[in-house]
Chain A
């Protein structure tokens, strides 16, 4: 049954995504003129885009490979700084005059790709020694690597404290490099959405192939996987690097959405929405082993974070609740505890949302209900 629906499912998903994408662009054209869209919704969607890619990329390692990595934002930092520096270099070399030229789109795409590739290379370097360890030890060493990466970037003369982080260079990033102002964010929103879609598709293709089967086998039982002929160290390191690639892409998108870059945004834990702990929370919340779950959780968490900080309704709450809201980490912890209590496997579990799945499940649900009804009837008449 499953095989005959595979081709149909691919077709349906592609068509629906394409239609949704075009519809969104059309809608944006209409709404783009209004201030609310430009000032609030577009920047929010930009943030959602990189959070979705980031959470999904960590899910490859955490949910599908089953290895706890706590330094994921380190790879994101590499991606962000690579893309920002490249775009600045391109601008200084006079490769493009203004951000509306088609050349800029090409450069933008190239920057994002190279950001991903560099992050993947660092992921490879980190993964080879780190993935010899398991469980808590791997968590500790990846945490360490994440901090080291951020510290190295911080101490590089061209991108650290006096570079892109503070001072005049940040302004040049905003004006000339990737950093998009509010109007550019609206103009280039299609680009961010497209990159997000491409990344998610690539990850799906990875999971639904021999690579995905191999890493899921390693997650379930590493000894049995190697006894089934799977080269466990190769697949572990490869997946780690592949995941780092998408973290790098997410970082590049982040660089686009921000006028300045600061290494403190990529730390293990900070007050903001972007840190390695927060990404782990998103993955666990969405369901380890569900890419669509990670995407949904990223959007939910972003929305929660946004509302806590900017919602007008917060002022109406009792003072005690407001004081909790002053520490968003507490709120995330409460959300996580509630989800773990009622859905230990996360909101989506290992379920992947797609229209073909949805229609099949609804059908299945109906037949099951009908079966139960018939059974109950049978019991009643029997009695």
Chain B
């Protein structure tokens, strides 16, 4: 449900070509604050490519990404994050040799206000910033029920919790738009249900916009307010879940004609 008229994240005619291959063409999307939007499509449709363009990993060959009215052309990934776009990855990318809480703290790096001198001489400024960071990190971990595993090595967490930790780390960047790339991949129904609950909690609590890539159709149909379907890099349908479920083009793309 759009609360404000201006979208948080918007793309205009976004497109990218790899060599001669047009991976994504003319991609337009508007996400509003507090909205949960789904991005679906068959394998190889270009969903993750879209994510990579929205986070600055790929540089789009045409079009622009606009965040809160500011175009983000030519910025690097970490500058996209500073502007307010955070993401998770399809194949989990945690900082494996670091503890669970350090994974979250690493994502606070850009917001921590102390310099080399503070760090070297352990000034009160340093301790204050570190204490605040630990508190915030533990709060985030509590949302995902990971607070008692804070000191564990992140690689030792079970699969489902690794996914959750990745979301927690993305939330630590203090973003406005969260991009989740197949968060329920490889999860059993119980874990998926738990994850959905978490996603709803964080959206309500942080009031952020979420864009979700997912293969599990029932999941997408249940939680997303709006859905965008792409196939072969082109948007073939957009609208409410009920409309999408009955759209002949979508059915053709998923089941074949």
Question: How far does the alpha carbon of A206 sit from the alpha carbon of B172 in the complex, in Å?
Answer: 22
Q: Is residue B247 within 8 Å, beta carbon to beta carbon, of the partner chain?
A: no
Q: Which of B110, B119, B134 is the most central at the interface, judged by chain A CB atoms within 10 Å of its CB?
A: B119
Range of interface residues on A (Cβ < 8 Å): 20 to 34
Instruction: Kindly list chain A residues whose C-beta atoms are within 8 Å of the C-beta of B119.
Output: 205-206, 209-211
A to B contact number (C-beta, < 8 Å): 103
Q: Is residue B221 within 8 Å, beta carbon to beta carbon, of the partner chain?
A: no
Interface residues of B in 137-178 (CB under 8 A from A): 151, 169-170, 172-173
Stretch of B62-70, B85-93, B204-212 that contacts chain A: B85-93
CB distance from A147 to the nearest CB of B (A): 30
Instruction: Kindly list chain B residues whose C-beta atoms are within 8 Å of the C-beta of A226.
Output: 76-78, 81
Instruction: Kindly list chain A residues whose C-beta atoms are within 8 Å of the C-beta of B108.
Output: 210
Instruction: Kindly list chain B residues whose C-beta atoms are within 8 Å of the C-beta of A221.
Output: 93-96
Q: Say yes or no: B77 contacts A211, CB within 8 Å.
A: no
Partner of A213, one of B57, B94, B96, B102: B102
Instruction: Kindly list chain B residues whose C-beta atoms are within 8 Å of the C-beta of A227.
Output: 55, 57, 77-78, 81, 86-87, 89, 93, 170
Q: Say yes or no: B82 contacts A229, CB within 8 Å.
A: yes
Question: How far does the alpha carbon of A225 sit from the alpha carbon of B81 in the complex, in Å?
Answer: 11
Question: How far does the alpha carbon of A232 sit from the alpha carbon of B76 in the complex, in Å?
Answer: 10
Question: How far does the alpha carbon of A205 sit from the alpha carbon of B112 in the complex, in Å?
Answer: 16
Q: Say yes or no: A229 contacts B107, CB within 8 Å.
A: yes
Map CB proximity to A onto B186-200 as digits: 1 under 8 Å, 0 otherwise: 000000000000000
Q: Is residue B218 within 8 Å, beta carbon to beta carbon, of the partner chain?
A: no
Instruction: Kindly list chain A residues whose C-beta atoms are within 8 Å of the C-beta of B232.
Output: none
Instruction: Kindly list chain A residues whose C-beta atoms are within 8 Å of the C-beta of B94.
Output: 220-221, 224
Q: Say yes or no: A210 contacts B109, CB within 8 Å.
A: yes
Main secondary structure of the interface of A (DSSP, over half): helix
Interface residues of A in 186-216 (CB under 8 A from B): 202, 205-206, 209-211, 213-214, 216
Q: Say yes or no: A210 contacts B114, CB within 8 Å.
A: yes
Q: Say yes or no: A213 contacts B109, CB within 8 Å.
A: yes
Interface residues of A in 156-195 (CB under 8 A from B): none
Q: Say yes or no: B89 contacts A224, CB within 8 Å.
A: yes
Q: Is residue A3 within 8 Å, beta carbon to beta carbon, of the partner chain?
A: yes
CB distance from B124 to the nearest CB of A (A): 13
Instruction: Kindly list chain B residues whose C-beta atoms are within 8 Å of the C-beta of A220.
Output: 94-98
Q: Is residue B226 within 8 Å, beta carbon to beta carbon, of the partner chain?
A: no
Q: Say yes or no: B169 contacts A228, CB within 8 Å.
A: yes
Partner of B106, one of A10, A205, A228, A289: A228
Q: Is residue A219 within 8 Å, beta carbon to beta carbon, of the partner chain?
A: yes
Instruction: Kindly list chain A residues whose C-beta atoms are within 8 Å of the C-beta of B130.
Output: 209
Q: Which of B77, B112, B130, B172 is the most central at the interface, judged by chain A CB atoms within 10 Å of its CB?
A: B77
Partner of B151, one of A2, A10, A225: A2
Q: Which of B89, B107, B122 is the most central at the interface, judged by chain A CB atoms within 10 Å of its CB?
A: B107
Question: How far does the alpha carbon of A231 sit from the alpha carbon of B57 in the complex, in Å?
Answer: 13
Q: Say yes or no: A229 contacts B78, CB within 8 Å.
A: yes
Instruction: Kindly list chain A residues whose C-beta atoms are within 8 Å of the C-beta of B98.
Output: 213, 216-217, 220
Interface residues of A in 338-383 (CB under 8 A from B): 350
Question: How far does the alpha carbon of A291 sit from the alpha carbon of B103 in the complex, in Å?
Answer: 21
Question: How far does the alpha carbon of A10 sit from the alpha carbon of B97 in the complex, in Å?
Answer: 24
Q: Is residue A17 within 8 Å, beta carbon to beta carbon, of the partner chain?
A: no
Q: Say yes or no: B106 contacts A230, CB within 8 Å.
A: yes
Instruction: Kindly list chain B residues whose C-beta atoms are within 8 Å of the C-beta of A39.
Output: none
Question: How far does the alpha carbon of A139 sit from the alpha carbon of B157 in the complex, in Å?
Answer: 33
Instruction: Kindly list chain B residues whose C-beta atoms are within 8 Å of the C-beta of A206.
Output: 116, 119-120
CB distance from B75 to the nearest CB of A (A): 11
Known: A209-B119, A227-B89. 19 other contacts (CB 8 A): A10-B122, A202-B120, A205-B120, A210-B109, A211-B116, A213-B106, A217-B95, A217-B103, A220-B96, A224-B94, A226-B77, A227-B93, A227-B170, A228-B86, A229-B78, A229-B107, A230-B107, A230-B110, A231-B110
- Interface, chain A (partner B; CB < 8 A): 1-3, 10, 202, 205-206, 209-211, 213-214, 216-217, 219-221, 223-232, 289, 350
Q: List 8 tightest A-B contacts by C-beta distance, closest first.
A: A229-B81, A209-B119, A224-B93, A220-B95, A228-B107, A226-B77, A217-B106, A229-B110
14 cross-chain CB contacts under 8 A: A10-B122, A205-B122, A206-B116, A210-B108, A210-B109, A211-B116, A216-B97, A216-B102, A220-B96, A221-B95, A225-B95, A226-B77, A228-B107, A229-B111
